[in-house]
Amino acid sequence: MSESSRLDAEACQNPLLDVSNIVAGYGATEVLHGVSLCVEAGEVVSLVGRNGAGKTTTLRSIVGNVVPTSGSVAFDGQDVTGLSPEETVRRNVAFVPEERRIFPDLTVAENLKVGQLGGGDTAESRDPEEVLEEFENLRDHPDRRGGALSGGEQQMLAIGRALVAGADLLLLDEPTEGLAPFVVRQVEDLVKNLNEEGIAVLLVEQNVEVALELADRHYVLDRGEIVYHGTSDQLRENEDVVDRHLGVSI
Amino acid sequence: MVGVTGVAEQLLNGLTIGMVYVLIAAGLSVIFGVMDVINFAHGELFALGAYFAFAIVAPLGGAGFWVALVVAPLLVGVLGAVIERVTLRPLYDRNPLYHILLTFGLVLMLNDVITFFWGKQPKAFSEPSILSGPVTVLGVSNSLYSYFIIAFGAVLSFGTWWALNNTRFGLVVRAGSQDREMVRNLGINIDRYYTLVFGAGAALAAVAGIVLGAYQNVNPGMGNSVIIPAFVIVVLGGLGSFRGAVVGGLGVGIIQTLARTYVPVLEGLIVFALMIGVLLVKPEGLFGTSTGEGHGESEGELLAGRGGGVLTDRQRFGLGAVVVALLAVVPLGVEVLYSEYVLTLLTDVLIWALFALSLDFVMGYAGLVSLGHALFYGTGAYASVLVLLHFTSSAFVALAAAVVVCAAIAWVIGYLSIRVSGVYFSMITLAFAQLFYRAVFKLEWTGGSDGLFGADVLYGIGGFAMELDEIAEMVPMVSEEGLFYYFLLATVVGSYLVARQIMKAPFGSVLQSIRESERRTEFVGYDVTAYKRRAFVVSGAMAGLAGGLFAVESGFVAPSLLFWLNSGEVVVMTVLGGMGTLYGPMVGAGVYIGFEEVLASYTDQWQFFLGALFVLFVIALPRGLVSLPDKLVEAGAGGGRAGTSGGPGEAPSEEAEPLADGEVNE
Ligand SMILES: Nc1ncnc2c1ncn2[C@@H]1O[C@H](COP(=O)(O)OP(=O)(O)OP(=O)(O)O)[C@@H](O)[C@H]1O
Ligand SMILES: [Mg+2]
């Protein structure tokens, strides 16, 4: 724990997101035992780990779906620990949860509209039409039901929906899960484009390939603890880390 | 042709009632969808609308109807908004069970307000004169008012539908009923929308009450009789689906009316059977989108009583022994220190204590909130009386029959319903119970609405059986009632000890682990469903025993034993005492009946105060009376344990402390 916080001190000079030593869980079960990580403005950072490692719980703690029992989360220098998700999100954090969670009975346009309503008055929200333009699969069918979209389309829509309200940081939970390889490429391209626009990304992935492709730095989470932190090059060289904590080889 | 116009006429009648249902169910469904609140008080709000209208029309006469149609819904809508603000708001992060409890308290309160102001006799107010009189359309004649209800209901439903689909407000409401947490994740403070949703739902119900009030009459039971069909409609159509409420409402109205005319045997049964059928095939209802699972959206856990803490196990055991000892000496004081009535009261308490214990077995330990436990209580009673009347006079055989029959029924119902979870399970158990309730009215051998009575009861088996008063003659100082009381006390204490033994066994540990985290238990490799079913069978058998004891004691049974209010009351007792501790619900039964008794001796309005107490209780002490010592100590220590900033549900606060294995039982 102390080691990882030392790493963070080195990792981020001026963190946009600063997660420090959070402990969180569900009811009696503690899932995160002191997780620290940070993201700089404009950076893409990955959080990788096996099934059940606590990746989703980490994101949920950042957003406020889960309230950490100790530790803190700061965004843009302000403490947001324990704020409700709506309050956190209104500070220009966009959250795309696991399984996308498109409103199945709302149309594509309506899904985006809900995202826009969430922006409030302060955020520099974007026009849903404009966002729609960026996604060619969706553009032509604004009236399709969300539930009728393919997995890739849903993922695009989920990202678009989270971004219409404007965002400095995008939290993405396994965006490529269950997608065909060529759709994975599309999602990767989208994330790259967004990053080029200046949006920082914290990417949760099980697919290490995707993480290496997109992110500059990586945190490896295992059983609720950050067990490794390094750049893409470092991670590639550390085959045993990948092997031991992720159960894959690269 | 007569047949055809006859059918058309019935269809129109069905449509009229159906439209009333639509107005009630629409609010109920949307409230559930968005807020996750199962609002049992919806029926009382409906009744209140009718009574307000009566109060307005009485002095104003015919034209007053139009005034009432505007003013009464507004009043009820405002009341609904207030109710949401004051009582529901503190509970959003909790399991829907607590809403059920809370709104159950509100039912008692509102119903009492109605009888306080307007009495128990039915009232009537009439439709405006321009709407009275029959009209004939295409050879079918019906009252003009009936057409008015259909048209007005249709316009209102369409308006609601339009608002849901064309306004920002409606968009958020629809999104929220599909995935509330996601709406929050997008930055929308959905709580702000709740007050309006609840108020609007209440107003729609009030409109339904008004139009139906002028069509039939206004009476204090109207809320109670409409709420269950309304739930059926909501569940049939899909919780949270407006379209479902419309289709379900019209469908149920028509089916009910047609059944009454053409297949009277099935009247009242068919709708419940339909609901059970639909739920089994399509648990999310006809137009529902999801069964509220998946997504890890936490429901908020059931708050088990905390038995540990201040008192040690040994102290609690001592306390229990003292209570039993005290109970045991009570009959000796009859006629000396107090009247026989005390014994009657305690007999009642003990029977309900056993009933509450049985519910706790599934609700407090396996997390299965059964809203139909009166089914087992009532069936146990019927089974016992039937055995006494037709086979043998032995109380023991009759009780054994109650246990066996209820265990068998519980097995079947458990098999069918445990596959659906959460609220759906509650609803399906409620439906089964109402099905049985209706059935005993219809059947010959259950005595219809009169019930059954006149059973002789002997204690013993075969040749060694005696009537209780004969035994009493041989025992000094104890009356016949006293003897039964001892028999009852022994049975209840015995059942408690058995339940305690089961909970201490590995079986019990698995159940508790299911309540804490179903996922984890499954992950570890237990067949969660099988465990739940077994628990349900034990629970049903125990509730059957309680019902059997009632029957053996009183010698009669009536359909009211199966009525849903009994199911509600037993849930109340269980939570009042503290579910998840075996003794808590038994304490709860005692306190509930005691309160009722004391309040009733002071005021006719006891129901109101009982309800109010209950509402306060659910808000302030959800872990039940057994957690009171802990709370007091906490408060004494300066309230230093203020909860964490209430995030949605999963915040691992102090409250979430599990029961460690050692402190589970007693
Ligand atoms: N709502 C919940 N209630 C109880 N326990 C949960 C809940 N959600 C997750 N858990 C548990 O917390 C642990 C971490 O889960 P989490 O979803 O954070 O892992 P993850 O790394 O995202 O896994 P995956 O790759 O499968 O998405 C797991 O053991 C899981 O069973
Ligand atoms: Mg995950």
Please check the confidence at residue B241 and state whether its pLDDT lies above 90. no
Domain check: are B291 and B385 in the same one? no
Query: Is the pLDDT at B88 greater than 60, yes or no?
Result: yes
For the cut 60, the answer to whether the pLDDT of residue A25 exceeds it is yes
Gyration radius of chain A's alpha carbons: 17
Q: Is residue B599 part of a domain?
A: no
pLDDT confidence band for B641 (50 / 70 / 90): very low
- What integer best gives the mean pLDDT of chain A? 86
Whether residue B254 sits in one domain with residue B353: no
Confidence of residue B413 (pLDDT cuts 50, 70, 90): very high
Contacts of B129 (CB under 8 A, 6+ apart): B62
Residues of B in contact with A113 (CB under 8 A): 171
Quick check: B639 pLDDT over 70?
Answer: no
The model's confidence at residue B395, banded by pLDDT at 50, 70 and 90, is confident
B181/A65 Cβ within 8 A: yes
Q: What is the pLDDT of residue B650?
A: 36
Domain count, chain A: 1
The overall average pLDDT reported for chain B is 84
Write out chain B residues lying below 8 Å of A82, CB-based: 644-645, 647
Q: Which of A229-233, B8-12, B171-175, B307-311 has the lowest mean pLDDT?
A: B307-311
CB contact under 8 Å between B652 and A24, yes or no, is: yes
Euclidean distance between CA atoms A93 and B34, whole angstroms: 24
Distance from CA of B59 to the nearest CA of A (A): 47
- What amino acid occupies position A107? T
Residues of chain A found within 8 Å of residue B301, distances taken between Cβ atoms? 27
Q: Is residue B180 part of a domain?
A: yes
Is the model's pLDDT at B483 over the cut of 70? yes
Give the three-class secondary structure for B267: coil
Any idea what the Cα angle at residue B228 is, between residues B272 and B11, rounded to 5°? 65
A39-43, B371-375, B417-421: segment of lowest average pLDDT: B417-421
Last residue of a domain, which of B555, B588, B621? B588
Mean pLDDT across A221-236: 91
If one compares A157 and B141, the residue with the highest pLDDT of the two is A157
- Which of B104, B51, B232 has its CA nearest to residue B574? B104
Nearest residue in A to B191, CA atom: A86
Res B311: pLDDT: 67
Query: What is the average per-residue pLDDT within B347-352?
Result: 94
Is the model more confident about B535 or about B133?
B535
* Residue A44 backbone zone (phi > 0: left; psi -120 to 50: alpha; other: beta): beta
Q: Provide the ipTM.
A: 0.92
Q: State the pLDDT confidence band at B643, using cuts at 50, 70 and 90.
A: very low
pLDDT at residue number B136: 78
Q: What lines the ligand 1 site, CB under 6 Å?
A: A 26, 29, 31, 49, 51-57, 98, 206; B 296, 298, 517, 519
Residue B633 in this model has a pLDDT that exceeds 90: no
Mean pLDDT, residues B201-208 taken together: 96
Q: Which domain holds residue A205?
A: 3-246
Do B240 and B378 lie in a common domain? no
* CATH classification of the domain holding A155: 3.40.50.300
pLDDT at A120 (0 to 100): 56
Q: Do residues B194 and B123 share a domain?
A: yes
Q: pLDDT band at B5, cuts 50/70/90?
A: confident
pLDDT of residue A216: 92
Do B378 and B264 lie in one domain? The reply is no
B529 and B415 Cβ atoms separated by less than 8 Å: no
Comparing B629 with B26, which gets the higher pLDDT?
B26
User: Distance between CA atoms of A67 and B183, rounded to whole angstroms?
Assistant: 18
Cα–Cα separations (whole angstroms), residue A82 to A61, A68, A69, B112, B646: 8, 7, 9, 42, 8
Cβ-contact A73, A62 below 8 angstroms: yes
B303 in a structural domain: no
* Contact by Cβ (8 Å): B626, B307: yes
- For residue B351, the enclosing domain spans 335-588
Q: Which of B295, B515, B519 to mutate to test ligand 1, by most ligand atoms within 8 A of the CB atom?
A: B519
Domain end among B247, B282, B297: B297
Indicate if the pLDDT at residue B446 is higher than 70. yes
Percent of chain B with pLDDT over 70: 89
Strand (E) or helix (H) holding B131: none
Q: Are residues B272 and B341 in the same domain?
A: no
State residue B331's pLDDT score: 79
Average pLDDT over residues B28-35: 86
Return the pLDDT at B334. 73
Q: CA A16 to CA A38: how far, in whole Å?
A: 7
Contact B641, B653 (CB under 8 A): no
Q: With contacts defined as CB-CB under 8 Å, which chain B residues touch A92?
A: none
| Domain annotation covers residue B391 | yes
pLDDT value of residue B640: 41
Instruction: Classify A113 in phi/psi space as left (phi over 0), alpha (psi -120 to 50) or beta.
Output: alpha
Q: Are residues B374 and B501 in the same domain?
A: yes
- Is residue A18 scored above 50 in pLDDT? yes
- B339 and B293 share one domain: no
- B36: in domain: yes
Q: What CATH number has the domain bearing residue B395?
A: 1.10.3470
**Pairwise CB contact (< 8 Å): B187 & A120:** yes
Residues B217 and B354 occupy one common structural domain: no
Tell whether B411 and B463 lie within a shared domain: yes
Q: Is B641 on the interface with A (CB under 8 A)?
A: no
The total number of structural domains in chain B stands at 2
Q: Are the beta carbons of A114 and B516 separated by less than 8 Å?
A: no
Total residue length of chain A: 250
Between the CA of residue B467 and those of B173, B350, B383, B384, what are the distances in Å? 64, 22, 20, 16
Q: What share of chain A is helix, strand, coil (3-state, %, to 5)?
A: 40, 25, 35
pLDDT on residue B205: 96
- Is 70 exceeded by the pLDDT of residue A109? yes
| Model pLDDT, residue B332 | 79
- Is the model's pLDDT at B482 over the cut of 70? yes
For residue range B487-546, what is the model confidence (pLDDT) as tens digits?
A: 999 999 999 999 999 998 999 889 888 887 777 888 888 898 899 999 999 999 999 999
Q: Is the pLDDT of residue A245 over 90?
A: no
- A173 alpha carbon – ligand 2 mean position (Å): 7
Question: B588, B604, B635: which is the final residue of a domain?
Answer: B588
Task: State yes or no: pLDDT of B642 exceeds 70.
Answer: no
pLDDT band for position A6 (50/70/90)? very low
Q: Is residue B613 part of a domain?
A: no
Q: What's the length of chain B? A: 666
Asked if pLDDT for residue B645 goes beyond 90, the answer is no
Q: What is the pLDDT of residue A238?
A: 83
